[in-house]
Structure 1
Amino acid sequence: MNESVSITHLILNASFVVQLVMLMLVAASVLSWVIIIQRGRLISATEQSMRQFEERFWSGIDLNDLYRECQQQPENSSAEKVFMAGLKEFGKMRQQSPGDPEAMMAGVQRAMRIAITRETEELENHLPMLATIGSTSPYVGLFGTVWGIMHSFQGLASVKQATIATVAPGISEALVATAMGLLAAIPAVIFYNRYVVKTEKFQTALVTFADEFSALLYRQAHKVSQSQRTGAEAL
């Protein structure tokens, strides 16, 4: 309790500039924790929905039935959006270029790459703010400390004899700004690195799923092409 009152006393007795710096750091810390919690929930939900969709996808269900199920859902997961984009483009390209499997698959892969990019950008949203808070907060706190020490030494000009008891309160007030800067920066840096790694892994999982799905569609495209050639030869 005494330490809490002591720190509160130091903050209240700091100069206006140092108090302003502390207020900025508190706001940055609150913002970073809001982003951390929000991004954490989104990434966890996205990973869970990815696992559930892959289980459904590889269960042997008909792709058209799965597509209709995804359409009926109010909100689709990232993997579902990639799947729907690929299958929708496959249907369009099959009508436009039924005898050219390579052209069909080029369109399908392009559509899925666009969907993957959009989903990755959604997961990366607000992460640059965490990086900014993590990299700048220590310097903002250091600025408050330097300013506070300058203000403390200016106050010593009117004192005839400077002692530790005279200098210590001013320096302690200034050092609180550095501590607050570190408290704002450390969680931001830790969770930024954690979420970047998770986002990269999820993007890799989406790319892998898209490649596997492309292989399935490529075999279907060849079947369509061969059936058309067989029908043309029969005529």
Structure 2
Amino acid sequence: MNLSVFRTYGAIPVVLMLSLVQPVLAQQNAAPAPPPAVSQPVAQPPAAAPAPSVPEAAAPARSLKTEMASLRELSPWSMFLNADILVKAVMIGLAFASLVTWTIFIAKMIELAVAQRKLKTSLNKIADSRSLAEAQFALGAKHGVLSSFLAAAMREARLSAGISSDSGIKERAASSFAEIMRAEARRIRLGMGLLATIGATSPFVGLFGTVWGIMNSFIGISKAQTTNLAVVAPGIAEALLATAIGLVAAIPAVIIYNHFARVTKTYLELVSRASGAAGRLLSRDLDRTHGGAHSRAAE
């Protein structure tokens, strides 16, 4: 009986020990294995981008060329070349008028400057002269408006000697002086009428070219049956170019004309002073002649 009891109760510790060991073994068996070493991937160089095909590479260049061509189409020279023949004639005429304006400006500036300087110098030379002969000697062989006044006074005094009174001689000399002044005014104003004509008519001539060009543009729009701005703009721009050239020709012409009107007035005032100086010298000669005649008569 004791043996059977031992067999029964002696196996209990063994069973308890096995029940404690089995969970530990189960945990060890269930523990995950250490992760395998992960190899670092070797960095590969980036793949080169595929070279663009020839059409793709040439596309920006073609677009740039197209843009430059469109800009050239709206340049003044290209608009002139594409304009109607009548509009071209108007533009050429206005450009020629502008050239004439600047030519007259340069020529008249030189002419007026030289004439004013010569006349002022001549007036200074005869300022202390007491007779017509002395004034002519002071001027020498120079030819100018003052020399013309002196020559006219001496000629009138010589032609009227002994046949008229002093007042008659002075009156006829003044008439000769007025003719010389009018001739000098016509000479110095030569070209100013052309400036006035260019300044007054150039805007209207340019406007005529613009109207004609816009008419042709509307006809082209009706034929193309489209109102696209790319179709309408070039023709209208060509037409407006005529008005722009007309203003370019007219505005300087008006300004230059007004400038020369003031300068010419100043010069004609100097001519009037020269006329007065010649008249005073003539009056002195007449008084001196009559004074000598009276003194001889008294003797």
TM-score by length of 2: 0.70
Residue equivalent to 1:183: 248
Kept after mapping to 2: 8 A contact 1:82/1:112: yes
Confirm or deny that 1:146 pairs with 2:223.
no
Kept after mapping to 1: 8 A contact 2:119/2:144: yes
Kept after mapping to 2: 8 A contact 1:82/1:116: no
Residue equivalent to 1:80: 147
Structure 2, unaligned stretches of length 5 or more? Answer: 1-67
The structure with higher relative contact order (CA 8 Å, sep 6+) is 1
TM-score by length of 1: 0.88
Confirm or deny that 1:124 pairs with 2:189.
yes
Structure 1, unaligned stretches of length 5 or more? Answer: none
Relative to 1, partners in 2 of residues 1:3 and 1:47: Cα closer, same or farther, differing over 3 Å?
farther
Q: Work out the number of aligned pairs and report it.
A: 230
Given residue 187 of structure 2, which amino acid in structure 1 is its aligned partner? E
Relative to 1, partners in 2 of residues 1:4 and 1:132: Cα closer, same or farther, differing over 3 Å?
farther
Pairing 1:30-109 to 2, within 5 Å after superposition: 30-60=99-129, 63-68=132-137, 70=139, 72-73=141-142, 76-93=143-160, 95-97=161-163, 100-109=165-174
**Aligned residues: CA RMSD:** 2.4
Kept after mapping to 1: 8 A contact 2:210/2:242: yes
Distance in 1 between residues matched to 2:136 and 2:282, nearest whole Å = 14
Distance in 2 between residues matched to 1:106 and 1:3, nearest whole Å = 70
Kept after mapping to 2: 8 A contact 1:100/1:225: no
Relative to 1, partners in 2 of residues 1:3 and 1:91: Cα closer, same or farther, differing over 3 Å?
farther
Higher relative helix content: 1
Residue equivalent to 2:31: none
Per-residue CA deviation, residues 77-133 of structure 1 (Å, 9 max, x unaligned), is 22332233223323333x244x72112211221221111111111111121111111
Given residue 92 of structure 2, which amino acid in structure 1 is its aligned partner? L
Larger radius of gyration: 2
Identical amino acids, percent of aligned pairs:
30
Given residue 266 of structure 2, which amino acid in structure 1 is its aligned partner? K
Distance in 1 between residues matched to 2:294 and 2:248, nearest whole Å = 69
